[in-house]
Amino acid sequence: MAAQRDPTTLSNYGLWRTRHTDVDFRVDFDGKRLHGAVTLRLERQAAEAGALVVLDTRFVKVTGARVDGDGGGAAEWELKPHQEPLGAPLHVTLPEAVVAGTAPGATVDLVLDVETTDRCTALQWLTPAQTANRKHPYMFSQCQAINCRSVFPCQDTPDVKSTFRFRLASALPTVASGVPVGDHAPAPGVEKVYEFEQKVPIPSYLFAVASGDIRTRRIGERSSVASGPDEVDGCQWELERDMDKFLEVAEKLIFPYRWGEYNVLVLPPSFPYGGMENPIYTFATPTIISGDRQNVDVIAHELAHSWSGNLVSNASWEHLQVWLNEGWTVYLERRIGAGLHGEQEFDFSSIIGWKALEDAVSQFGPDHEYTKLIISHKNVDPEDVYSTVAYEKGFHFLYYLDRLVGRDNFDKFIPHYFTKWAGKSLDSFEFKQTFLDFFNGLGDESLKQKISAIDWEDKLYSPGLPPKPNFDTTLAKQCYDLADQWKDSSFEPSRKDIEGLTANQLQVFLGAVQERKSLSAERAQKMGAVYDFISSENVEVLAAYYRIALEANDPTCVYGVAELLGRVGRMKFVRPLFRALNDVNRGLALETFAKNKDFYHPICRGMVEKDLKI
């Protein structure tokens, strides 16, 4: 029997494994549901695999099950009791004639009639009033980490990969995580079927669909951007300068892009993440569209996921082997940035990341289990574990290995690693063995001595911050120097202080000021007014400033914070701002949440409820 490594699934994928998935759904905006049929092509893994197939579900309505093909017909099924946080396992008993006629390696097509419910955690349904032009409703999915099971029964684990075919009937233009097939011309108000194919096997969390008043524009030879009709031209301008450059640098570093198209869907503002690396169509927050091209590095990150995460996946969520996904992606993102803007950009981005890692470790506590790369625990929702730690501590482990063996040698390892594991999932221990086998195989005795000295136990299991590298602070020095001037309460700021600073440099400056916690409310107000942070269109800068103002107990900032929390749903900003606002004015924090909770995505809403202890 194939090993089952992921404890966040209740399925028996070690006995029956999904190899292909067909979804045939209608997007019902009036009923706020997807309904139709899903077909799972299940491969028998072992002779001892019996007639029972167990699938993950969470608040999905199942109305029928059958097996197509010889010996097929109706299949018995039962939805077992719900188990938090993993959901209710669906037990399907295959017809005896089907099981008796199959051997290991044979496949069975299981068809399930399903519909989503109002407790679905993967879908957000927006009313016309919640969209930019207020004319049409909108729906989008977010299945990472274990939310696909609330769309349809599946083996909801990154340890299982499947090809996909989508048939989605909707009255509004639709995109999905596959290559478009057939006619996709927008026809708002006219129901039509939108088809997509995903020929590269993907895990269930990369299932994605969105439907709304969507328009597209080209941003590169292989890339388009999609967004609302009033926003799409601005999105095109923001992304078209760099898209082909990102692809060129990434392909040179790893190997050619394997997914055909790379497109970006800029979603309405309630999208809870900076970006979601759904294949073919990255789903992105509108906060990257700032009118200054200062936040497009998010796209470099999501593009890098095309290799790390999508092509080569972590086998488990619960043990935070997601560092193999996110740590690699941050490393590749920074290499892409260095390829475009020089090596100093790599270190500068790493400085910003280090501050985010410090904040995450401080929030959990330096000895907390969730600050390790590998976490041992059971029956925990991966959303509760997910944090910057996987991204930045994972990056620092890879950056440590890069420096240990040397950049030239590590650059030889990168394509080897992604070629060896392409189309597969792995855990931390398989990564370790792949690394050791590669460098021991080079026959270089000095390299062998270096890698033999790696304390893998310490790197993978120690909590808290890793050793801080000596970053090149050239691009950060001006930011630090300005922050030092703010230590002196008699310093008189001028708009000229920040002339020529990029948005990322402003973030480093604000991060340094926040770290010192030395501003009075009056000084925080002056900073916001003189540097005009309070009217910034760049949400990264505005949110960073508001963190300082809240910590300074500036009573004038709270209503600006509440206004921002009413128009941005990205958890990177929403969660820390709610926590800080709660410390200053709990009443306003609760009032702001109550006013906007239906605006937030279910994942974001649930996490803020935990942050506010509601």
pLDDT tens for 373-391 read 998 656 677 877 888 999 9
- Establish whether domains 1-212 and 312-461 are of one fold: no
Lookup: tokens for 534: 């309070």
Identify each DSSP E strand in 248-338 by its residue range.
263-266, 275-276, 281-284, 312-314
Query: Is 191 a known ligand-binding residue?
Result: no
3-class secondary structure, 216: strand
Lookup: tokens for 31: 């009923």
Query: Is 277 a known ligand-binding residue?
Result: yes
179 phi and psi angles, rounded to 5 deg: -80, 130
Query: Is 276 a known ligand-binding residue?
Result: yes
Contact 214, 228 (CB under 8 A): yes
pLDDT of 200-209, one tens digit each?
Answer: 999 999 999 9
- Which positions are annotated as active-site residues? 302, 391
Alpha-carbon gap, residue 217 to 561, rounded angstroms: 33
pLDDT of 103-120, one tens digit each?
Answer: 999 999 999 999 999 999
63 phi and psi angles, rounded to 5 deg: -120, -5
Average pLDDT of the chain, as a whole number: 95
Residue 317: pLDDT band (50, 70, 90) is: confident
Lookup: tokens for 340: 């475009």
DSSP-assigned letter for residue 546 = H
Alpha-carbon gap, residue 89 to 81, rounded angstroms: 7
Please give the pLDDT value at position 101: 82
Query: Is 441 a known ligand-binding residue?
Result: no
The owner of tokens 């600073």 is: 501
Please give the pLDDT value at position 376: 65
Residue 71: pLDDT band (50, 70, 90) is: confident
Q: Which residue from 204, 20, 209, 26 is spatially nearest to 115, judged by alpha carbons? A: 26
Does position 508 have pLDDT exceeding 90, yes or no?
Answer: yes
Q: Which residue from 460, 453, 500 is spatially nearest to 478, judged by alpha carbons? A: 500
Q: How many Cβ atoms sit within 10 Å of the Cβ of residue 468? A: 12
Q: Which fold has domain 474-612?
A: 1.25.40
The average pLDDT across 393-403 equals: 98
Structural domain 312-461, CATH architecture: Orthogonal Bundle (1.10)
Query: Is 301 a known ligand-binding residue?
Result: yes
pLDDT of 586-599, one tens digit each?
Answer: 999 999 999 999 89
Query: Is 143 a known ligand-binding residue?
Result: yes
Alpha-carbon gap, residue 196 to 123, rounded angstroms: 19
Query: Is 275 a known ligand-binding residue?
Result: yes
**What is the DSSP track for 263-278?**
EEEE--TT--SSEE--
Query: Is 570 a known ligand-binding residue?
Result: yes
**Domain boundary assignment for the chain:** 1-212, 312-461, 474-612
Lookup: tokens for 573: 């900003």
**What is the DSSP track for 495-529?**
GGGGTT--HHHHHHHHHHHHHHT---HHHHHHHHH
Please name the amino acid found at residue 94.
Answer: L
The average pLDDT across 35-45 equals: 98
* Beta carbons within 8 Å of 470's beta carbon, 6+ residues apart: none
Q: In what order do the strands lie in the sheet with 138-141?
A: 123-126, 138-141, 209-211, 174-176
Provide the b/e sequence for 120-142 (b: ≥16 CB within 10 Å). bbbbbbbeeebbbeeebbbbbbb
Query: Is 272 a known ligand-binding residue?
Result: yes
Contact 149, 121 (CB under 8 A): no
Identify each DSSP E strand in 413-555 by its residue range.
424-426
Please give the pLDDT value at position 610: 95
Q: Which residue from 202, 204, 205, 186 is spatially nearest to 194, judged by alpha carbons? A: 186
Query: Is 417 a known ligand-binding residue?
Result: no
CATH number for the domain whose boundaries are 1-212:
2.60.40.1730
Between strands 275-276 and 215-220, the pairing is unpaired
DSSP-assigned letter for residue 80 = P
Using CA atoms in the order 587, 588, 594, 600, what is the torsion angle rounded to 10 degrees?
Answer: -130
**What is the DSSP track for 171-205?**
SS-EEESSEEES-----TTS-EEEEEEEEEEE-GG
DSSP-assigned letter for residue 129 = G
- CA quadruple 177, 180, 183, 185: dihedral sign: positive
pLDDT of 527-549, one tens digit each?
Answer: 999 999 999 999 999 999 999 99
Query: Is 326 a known ligand-binding residue?
Result: yes
Q: What's the whole-model pTM score?
A: 0.93
